[in-house]
Amino acid sequence: MVERPHDPLAYTQGLELDGEKLYESTGLPNQSTLREVDPVTGAVKRSVQLAESQFGEGITVVDDHIIQLTWQNGVALVYRLPDLVQTGTFAYGGEGWGLCDDGSRLVMSDGSDQLFFRDRQTFEVLGSVPVRDANGPVTALNELECVDGLVYANVYQTDTIVRIHPSSGAVTAVIDASSIHPTGGDVGVMNGIAYDADADTFLLTGKNWPTLFEVRFIPRS
């Protein structure tokens, strides 16, 4: 495990690694941003402020653009890479929580036990699947990361990440990340997961965490 600095003022809502560039979405009224962050030092390299009424949520990179959800505003913001100039929007019903791109479609969460599949170009809903483990529905699905045909989801208000098979909605693994949760100060819940394909590691952080962790998920024997 490698520990890196992270802005403790960042109310992290989404995290996305695109090559060597790390993007982060932050929330809260009048404080929501989309930012490019140095993945090693944690320094904010550039930042775009959302409108006062918009509450930033999950993000994902789609080709040469990045899409940022908003919580209860019903709008996804589309930015051009690499300069983060906003070029458009998508409208949607319900709440926006997490978002990832599996290469053929977008996967979105809204805080329920459902994953929604959307068109990468039009944001049209293509379908949905309920998420279940051995005990039943898994609710509060939050920030998402698509990796090798599977979906990793932070479970809100916990230090748990679940790995989901998107065809069936079955939880195929549970990651307990409680050992890295910072203590003291104003740290909030875990919320931020990005995959580094070159290193085969995950970057994890949370709301107002002072640290970004690079970890590898190892199955228990």
Q: Is residue 221 part of a domain?
A: no
pLDDT tens, the chain, 221 aa long: 899 999 999 999 999 999 999 999 999 999 999 999 999 999 999 999 999 999 999 999 999 999 999 999 999 999 999 999 999 999 999 999 999 999 999 999 999 999 999 999 999 999 999 999 999 999 999 999 999 999 999 999 999 999 999 999 999 999 999 999 998 778 899 999 999 999 999 999 999 999 999 999 987 65
Sheet architecture: strand order including 171-176: 141-147, 150-155, 160-164, 171-176
Q: What pLDDT shows up at residue 101? A: 98
Instruction: Tell whether 174 is covered by a domain.
Output: yes
From the list 26, 14, 21, the residue with the least C-alpha distance to 37 is: 21
Q: Using CA atoms, how far apart are residues 199 and 7, in angstroms rounded to an integer?
A: 23
In this prediction, residue 22 carries a pLDDT of: 97
CA distance readout (Å), 165 to 122, 154, 175? 24, 15, 15
Q: State the residue range of the domain holding 33.
A: 2-215
pLDDT at 185: 77
CA-nearest of 70, 79, 23, 35 to 51 is 70
What string of DSSP letters covers 163-174?
Answer: EE-TTT-BEEEE
pLDDT at 184: 79
For the record, the structure tokens of 216 come out as 């590898």
Beta-sheet strands, E only, within 6-98: 12-18, 21-26, 33-37, 44-49, 56-62, 65-70, 75-80, 85-91
Residue 92 in any domain: the answer is yes
- CA angle, 111 then 113 then 119, to 5°: 80
Structural domain count of the chain: 1
Confidence (pLDDT) at 38: 95
Asked if residue 220 is part of any domain, the answer here is no
Residue 72, domain CATH? 2.130.10.10
**Confidence (pLDDT) at 183:** 86
Domain membership flag for residue 7: yes
